[in-house]
Amino acid sequence: MEDYVPLSVLRMVYDSSRKLYSLRIMASIRPSALAEITSVFAKHNINILCIELGARSTSDERGTAFLVVDFTKSAMDVEQIIKELEGLPSVLEVKLMDPSIPGLIIDTGHFPLIIGPWRGIIFRVEFSSTLSKALGEN
């Protein structure tokens, strides 16, 4: 296993041949919460393609999970799964983030980017070097 693995901050999946959905789940932070949530997907043969977890601070009592899930091999529909998730003791809220184009999932729920207490912005390396040169000329 490699010591370092690149992190893609572009959260996007496209496959028009699959039944893809993205969900944002707010849940209580407790030891079994993630296991409860993921077991619903496993039970119904739903593949989790991406999961992003987090809380704003260590003192938060709730956290958010962003998931990209593939229902292609499942007999369930997304509304049935949402109802089942909402019935879990740790789940506070489930939001379906509808794709504007079938099969295209873009994470629009994680904005703005923050770095500690500050808002952040990410530039491609090529852009930042061009910006640096332009600022140096002024």
Say which CATH number the domain at 100 has.
3.30.70.260
16 found inside a domain? yes
Sequence-separated (6 or more) residues with CB below 8 Å from residue 93: 25, 26, 86
Residue 5 makes CB contacts below 8 A (sequence gap 6+) with: none
Is residue 125 one of the residues assigned to a domain?
A: no
| pLDDT at residue 40, rounded to an integer | 98
Q: Is 109 exposed, middle or buried (CB count within 10 Å of its CB: 0-12, 13-18, 19+)?
A: middle
- The two structure tokens encoding residue 138: 């002024």
Residue 57 counted as domain residue = yes
In this predicted structure, what is the pLDDT of residue 59?
79
Report residues of the chain scoring pLDDT below 70.
Answer: 7-11, 109-111, 137-138
Q: List the beta strands (DSSP E) in 55-128.
A: 62-70, 91-97, 104-106, 114-115, 118-119
Residue 27, in any domain of the structure: yes
Mean pLDDT across the chain: 86
Residue 7 lies in a domain: no
The reported pLDDT for the residue numbered 90 is 96
* Start-end of H helices in the chain: 33-43, 78-86, 125-137
74 with 43: CB under 8 angstroms? no
Res 8: pLDDT: 67
Other C-beta atoms closer than 10 Å to the C-beta of 87 total 9
Domain-located, residue 85: yes
For residue 53, the model assigns a pLDDT of 87
- The pLDDT score that the predictor gives to residue 5 is 76
Task: Report if residue 54 sits inside a domain.
Answer: yes
pLDDT at 33: 94
Predicted local distance difference test score (pLDDT) of residue 20: 92
75 inside domain: yes
Q: How many domains does the chain have?
A: 1
Q: Which domain holds residue 17?
A: 12-110
34 φ, ψ (degrees, to nearest 5): -65, -40
